[in-house]
Amino acid sequence: QRTKMSNSSSITQFLLLAFTDTRELQLLHFWLFLGIYLAALLGNGLIITAIACDHHLPTPMYFFLFNLSLLDLGSISTTLPKAMANSLWDTRAILYAGCVAQVFFIFFLFGAEYSFLTIMAYDRYVAICKPLHYGTLLGSRACAHMAAAAWGSAFLYALLHTANTFSLPLCQGNAVDQFFCEIPQILKLSCSDSYLREVELLVVSGFGFLGCFFFIMVSYVQIFRAVLSIPLEQGRHRAFSMCLPHLVVVSLFVSTGMFAYLKPPYISYPLLDLVVAVLYSVLPPAVNPLIYSMRNQELKDALKKLM
């Protein structure tokens, strides 16, 4: 099914990775992905509804969490439904336009999500280390500006990568070795050295991501130093229980995403690539609602009220 093509203009569709050729296992993949997808929809949907309906949750943390849940809903809806449909109907095809849309939305939504995870680390830092300045540093106007910057910069970032990737001539066939359209896999189909331009862009982006990750780590070092000086065991436990899960999700998201996009193309382990893709594209949107609601009494109360 892998066809050689002279250039990308003759490609009307791409072929995504087939998990298996066995019909029973295809259906098993469908049901497994459906379960994860419904759990993510339910969890994020409940958080969005609870924050929107409960006027006792107006703090910046819940405003950012509202945005994060919206992004999680969007990002998991970009990858999983198409993979589920392909498993159900025993096909591998995705239209060229569909592939372009997937690449754009993956970069847009995950870029914005990472920005919000960075902002939320700053929010926790100010709340725990500078509580007296919380109202001034994170007023409604400052929060709106930060959110607008996160959404706007992610949009431009996604536009740049998508335009750059799909302007490349593709002549190594149309089979993408992933269950969704991923830039490193599309670059493998390129037949000119111009793909190095996109690789350079990805490396520059990687440094940006590392900068944000460094900022998050520094924020958490300050938070943990402040928390360890709290004499009350209960207060210390509460602060740790709020911050540690956030740090775990950020670390997983960054490490797997960097591995997928920055490893050299000649290093190819299909199973490892698949596991890494699931870890950065499927797992965070599915577990974020659990992490942010289970550890948060105010949100649990709001959800109970909503029920």
Domain range summary for the chain, segments of one domain joined by +: 23-306
Q: Which of 96-110, 145-159, 247-261 has the lowest mean pLDDT?
A: 247-261
Closest by CA position to 168, among listed 193, 146, 143: 193
Residue 7 gets which letter from DSSP?
A: S
| pLDDT band, very low/low/confident/very high, at 2 (cuts 50, 70, 90) | very low
CA–CA distance, 307 with 85 (Å, rounded to integer):
32
264 vs 5 pLDDT, higher one: 264
190 strand-pairing partners: 170
- Give the range with max mean pLDDT: 99-113, 197-211, 270-284: 99-113
Q: Pick the residue with more confidence: 46 or 234?
A: 46
Question: Does the structure show a pLDDT above 70 at 306?
Answer: yes
Residue-level pLDDT at 295: 64
Residues in the chain: 307
Q: Which residues pair with 235 in a beta bridge?
A: none
Q: Is the pLDDT of residue 169 over 70?
A: yes
Burial label for 58, CB within 10 Å (0-12, 13-18, 19+), is exposed
The pLDDT, as a whole number, for residue 219 is 92
Task: Please report the pLDDT score of residue 26 as a whole number.
Answer: 84
Range in 63-67, 107-111, 152-156, 238-242 the model is least confident about: 238-242
Q: What percent of the chain has pLDDT over 70?
A: 93
Q: What is the pLDDT of residue 6?
A: 43
**Of 38-47, 145-154, 263-272, which gets the smallest average pLDDT?**
263-272
pLDDT at 10: 74
Q: How many CB atoms lie within 10 A of CB 56?
A: 10
Is residue 7 scored above 90 in pLDDT? no
| Whether the Cβ atoms of residue 66 and residue 47 lie closer than 8 Å to each other | yes
| C-alpha Rg value of the chain to the nearest Å | 21
Query: What average pLDDT does this structure show over 167-189?
Result: 86
Architecture in CATH for domain 23-306: Up-down Bundle (1.20)
The reported pLDDT for the residue numbered 151 is: 96
Task: Return the HEC string of 148-169.
Answer: HHHHHHHHHHHHHHHHHHHCCC
Task: Indicate if the pLDDT at residue 291 is higher than 90.
Answer: no
Arithmetic mean of pLDDT over the chain = 85
What is residue 5's predicted lDDT score, i.e. its pLDDT?
44
pTM exceeds cut of 0.85: yes
| 259-269 b/e (C-beta count within 10 Å ≥ 16 → b) | bbbeeeeeeee
Instruction: Return the exposure string of 131-145: e unless at least 16 CB atoms fall within 10 Å of the residue's CB, then b.
Output: eeebeebbeeeebee
Which pLDDT does position 189 carry in this prediction?
87
Confidence of residue 294 (pLDDT cuts 50, 70, 90): low
